[in-house]
Chains A and B, each alone.
Chain A
């Protein structure tokens, strides 16, 4: 059974600082997603990572995937308050068409 773990579960950081969120998963997969969720809102797709060594960047967020280590990272550069949200990684279950297993989320709070 695929398990997805994120850490930390909660992160409080000051504006301007850098930090990394980690996503580990237990079985082979060919696809990993990062989502953002604001309180009471939809999940917003941030990145889709399809292959080993994939790196994608959007603004202050950069995601990478190491399929051999079964690890993805979401790196935050020079955090700003607007990045405060909960971030989820989700891994596609191999052998299924589209079933995703989500991590428990990392709640990010960026303070002034």
Chain B
């Protein structure tokens, strides 16, 4: 079975501080990992996927297969980063199905 865990339901930091949103997963195969973001009153949108290894809006995430983690990091948080962040996993055999974590609400204070 597969599972995605985001241990922090709420996370608050001050503007300019580093931020790390944790994501751990369990899956015996080779998963594809994603971070989705939902800003207030907007639809869910893709932020990062591990296979692209891009940095989007200053965020990066590295897949650590040994620790089964895919933590999202940003060195200097901005107020506009305040949003709900979801970590998601996809198995290679089920392309249209994502397994989501419960989400972390990030608040960046001025």
Chains A and B form a bound pair = no
B-side residues, CB < 8 A to A, are none
A-side residues, CB < 8 A to B, are none
